[in-house]
Amino acid sequence: MTDTKLEKLPESLDPKNVPLGEAVLRHLVYSVGKDASHAVRRDWCAALSLAVRDRMVDGWMDTTRRIYKEKAKRVYYLSMEFMIGRLLEDAISNMGLTAEAKGFFSEHGLDLQEILEAEPDPALGNGGLGRLAACFLDSMATVGVAGMGYGIRYEHGIFRQSFQDGWQLEEPEDWLIFGNNWEFHRPEVSYPISFGGSVQQDAQGKMVWTPSERILAGAFDTPIAGWQGKHVNTLRLWSARSAETLNLHQFNQGEFMAASRQQVLAESITKVLYPGDHTAEGRELRLKQEVFFTSASLQDLLHRFLLDNKDLTALPKHVAIQLNDTHPAIAVPELVRLLVDEHDMEFVQSFEIARGCLNYTNHTLLPEALEKWPLELIERCLPRHLQIIREIDNLFAAEIRAKFEGKDPAPMQAIDPHHGGWVRMGNLAFIGAKRVNGVSALHTELMKQTVFKDLHEVYPDRILNQTNGITPRRWLKECNPGLAELITETIGEDWVGDLSHISELVPYAEDKAFRDKFKAVKLENKKRLAAYIQSEVGIKVDPTALFDIQIKRIHEYKRQLMNALETMALYNAMKADPKAGWQPRVKIFAGKAAPSYTLAKLIIKLINDAAKVINNDPDVDGLLKLVFLPNYNVSAAEILIPGADLSEQISTAGFEASGTGNMKFALNGALTVGTLDGANVEIKEHVGDDNIFIFGLEADEVAARQHGGCQPWVTVAETPRLQEVVTQISSGFYSNGDTERFKGIVDNVLAHDYFQVTPDFQAYWDIQRKIDGEFKDQDTWQRMAVLNTANMGWFSADRTIRGYANDIWKAL
């Protein structure tokens, strides 16, 4: 820092003293370098973003000063994914600038909405886990937690999905191509990250790691303003670069490729987001990504701590670290290593410090998603970490033996010596954490009974629940302005900053005039969605039909297949008797499949092929449409969710840890058809049994069937509508007579059906027909819809963050 007499900036420089419009024009000319007559939407978007960012900076610095002064406990949220979506509307809305921005642009003949849509959608995540992290950033800033997000600045986010002849195509996504107006590059903030090499003991007995590879992590900061901009936190994303400079000698010899080799290798670490969702993949590079951002974040937070603290044993008092799933679980040995090797502390004390700061959130019970790394890989890439993991395991084993006579610690340890040897990251995270949490009540219970059964027995106080939540700013106020205005004119605006107020709407469920307005808003949203469908896939849908939507990653356990099969059965029934008074429906799907997940991709193809047949059949015209929208992302969700009548949350019970889309739909007045899984259970408790459509096997019944041999082919034979559909698919009805195409799906359903599509099919069909009937009674339906919106206050991510802050971080 420099010594300067300049403490406060002159008032004239305060961005608040300049009308927003003027600031936009100034940025357009002097930052973007365009004059108004040549500017395209993207230029206006850049100028507006910079003008809004200026308004955030003072609050940002104030927040930083306040945190230092008050010595507030700092919370670090480490996540491989932050699915932030577009930031401009969020920033304008939270900073209270919407009216001013709208006014300025309309004065100049421009439409704010179109300018907002010119912003690329940063999709730095796969699905719910990444979106949860983004909602938490908004809520930490709103609630006033001194929180910071740490992640990776991927050059390419999740792939862009399109369809070629109904098959999923993956293309690289390029969100940074026109620059990023939100971030501040901090070239001076950089940390070395090491890999490989060997460890030797020096003369004093100290372990010395000599790595064979070293890269640098550079920081990029994005300010995140909470509701009303009072508190502004930071999302710090790391980008990799080589620690070595260009080999000029080689370059001058004309060996351009060889000269840049080190740069290319280093930069590959933050090139792409791994598109695996719930499955371990990508091996070595993925491991290096995890180590890279975890180590950089820990070095950074230790550096910040030491700026005004000397005693590292006080770290747990001032710092809480949340590990978003096991992806950053290498933090356990890495924090110990930094304390022991770089700060000369004792091992046992260092482990106690680590265990005082670190907490771990589990997001799945799926065995294939619990990360484990081959010992050989860890030994080769991270030899010093492996030593520390072994020591931690020994310490843990001694603790268990001392506390529980005769208890074998081996199955609980981080290292599994069998089958060539593995490091189990879930066990490592559990052993190294102060608190471990699940993400819904049911999921947390199942965690205790299954994956962490034995660890829970020996540390019964460690596991707790924090049911997920969503930010009402993005997921109601911004994405559904019509409904937001109706709510505000009815009960005032307090709900935006404190969603519990939304329950004041409950009495209005009985008010016919209010219900009619609620319905009118929904219809407008459905028209907007219909226009989007038309422009994306060229299918015309009737906005008065029942809009039935399933949007999420494609996964067997989420059972898009069951929804598709029911659609085909409905098609058969309608075709057989078109005059039977059917409720017209539009079935809408969207979601990406992991590129290596063959069956998931085949399910997409099946839905697209079925859509071709159904949408072109005049017999069901006006009765049924089937739509699969490409490239589902946060921006698409913001159009889809407000336009839904029915929200599909139909996972095999026991498999969806929580779900958060379920909350977004219900908050926006869609009714849920769902199983008793994840947070559906709690949604049912809040909206009331009469205002949700629950069906199907429960988690314990599913588990029993999965363990005892069940015979899906028998169930199919006993379910005529399902039998008919399965026969049609295998005989090539949806594939131009090709009987091979969907064999993978048919064989799987008939022979294994691990995710229990066949036993749940009939109950799903029945409840859908019940829904048809209830939708026809629009008055009753709208009443239920209002009660959904009104009773979702508890699912605000602000409530979730307060839960973490009180029970885990001790930070409020």
Q: Which residues bind ligand GPU (CB under 6 A)?
A: 126-129, 132, 277-278, 325, 363-364, 369, 439, 468, 656-660, 678
740: which DSSP letter?
A: S
* Catalytic residue flag (residue 553): yes
Whole-number minimum distance, CB 794 to ligand GPU, in Å? 16
Which run of H or of E encompasses 147? strand 146-152
518 vs 655 by CB, closer to ligand GPU: 655
Query: Token match 């709690």: residue?
Result: 682
Gap between the Cα atoms of 628 and 553, Å rounded: 13
Whole-number minimum distance, CB 361 to ligand GPU, in Å? 7
Residue 740 neighbours by CB distance under 10 Å: 9
- How many alpha carbons lie under 13 Å from residue 335 in its C-beta half-sphere? 35
Gap between the Cα atoms of 646 and 665, Å rounded: 8
Whole-number minimum distance, CB 634 to ligand GPU, in Å? 13
3-state secondary structure of 693: strand
- Burial label, 42 (beta-carbon count in 10 A; 0-12, 13-18, 19+): middle
* Both tokens assigned to 219: 């920081």
322 vs 364 by CB, closer to ligand GPU: 364
**Most distant CA pair in the chain: distance in Å?**
90
In contact, 90 and 474? CB cutoff 8 Å: yes
647 vs 658 by CB, closer to ligand GPU: 658
Radius of gyration from C-alpha coordinates of the chain: 27
- Burial label, 802 (beta-carbon count in 10 A; 0-12, 13-18, 19+): middle
277 vs 753 by CB, closer to ligand GPU: 277
Gap between the Cα atoms of 600 and 577, Å rounded: 32
In contact, 735 and 742? CB cutoff 8 Å: yes
- Cβ-based neighbours of 398, under 8 Å, separated by 6 or more: none
- Cite the DSSP H helix spans in 178-314: 248-252, 256-259, 261-267, 283-307
* Both tokens assigned to 418: 């069998």
226 vs 426 by CB, closer to ligand GPU: 426
Residue 329 phi, psi dihedral angles, 5° rounding: -70, -15
Gap between the Cα atoms of 351 and 315, Å rounded: 12
Gap between the Cα atoms of 472 and 139, Å rounded: 9
* Catalytic residue flag (residue 558): yes
Whole-number minimum distance, CB 460 to ligand GPU, in Å? 23
In contact, 425 and 367? CB cutoff 8 Å: no
Whole-number minimum distance, CB 796 to ligand GPU, in Å? 15
Gap between the Cα atoms of 471 and 150, Å rounded: 19
* Both tokens assigned to 261: 């080799």
3-state secondary structure 148-213: EEEEECCCECCCEEEEECCEEEEECCCCCCCCCCCCEEEEEEEEEEEECCEEEECCCCCEEEECCE
Whole-number minimum distance, CB 74 to ligand GPU, in Å? 23
3-state secondary structure of 409: coil
* Catalytic residue flag (residue 660): yes
Whole-number minimum distance, CB 326 to ligand GPU, in Å? 8
142 vs 364 by CB, closer to ligand GPU: 364
443 vs 477 by CB, closer to ligand GPU: 443
- Active-site entry in 424, 558, 587, 601: 558
* Catalytic residue flag (residue 38): no
In contact, 635 and 623? CB cutoff 8 Å: no
- Active-site entry in 142, 326, 660, 800: 660
- Active-site entry in 55, 236, 443, 552: 552
Whole-number minimum distance, CB 257 to ligand GPU, in Å? 36
Whole-number minimum distance, CB 657 to ligand GPU, in Å? 4
The residue number whose beta carbon is nearest to ligand GPU equals 128
- Cite the DSSP H helix spans in 78-127: 88-94, 98-107, 112-116
Residue 271 neighbours by CB distance under 10 Å: 14
Count Cβ neighbours within 10 Å for each residue of 470-492 and write b for 16 or more, e otherwise: bbbbbbbbbbbbbbbebbeeebe
Distances (CA, A) of 210 to 130, 195, 197, 263, 384: 35, 9, 6, 21, 9
Whole-number minimum distance, CB 555 to ligand GPU, in Å? 8
Whole-number minimum distance, CB 580 to ligand GPU, in Å? 37
* Both tokens assigned to 95: 């900073």
Whole-number minimum distance, CB 411 to ligand GPU, in Å? 22
* Catalytic residue flag (residue 780): no
| Long-range own/partner contacts, residues 161-167 (CB < 8 A, 24 or more apart) | 161/592, 161/630, 161/631, 161/632, 162/630, 162/631, 163/604, 163/608, 163/628, 163/630, 166/604, 166/605, 166/608, 166/609, 166/612, 167/601, 167/604, 167/605, 167/608
DSSP string, 589-604: EE----TT-HHHHHHH
168 vs 468 by CB, closer to ligand GPU: 468
678 vs 759 by CB, closer to ligand GPU: 678
608 vs 649 by CB, closer to ligand GPU: 649
* Catalytic residue flag (residue 552): yes
- Active-site entry in 664, 741, 783, 799: 664
Whole-number minimum distance, CB 651 to ligand GPU, in Å? 8
471 vs 660 by CB, closer to ligand GPU: 660
- Active-site entry in 553, 587, 605, 741: 553
Amino acid at 169: L
59 vs 674 by CB, closer to ligand GPU: 674
368 vs 494 by CB, closer to ligand GPU: 368
The catalytic residues are 363, 552-553, 558, 660, 664
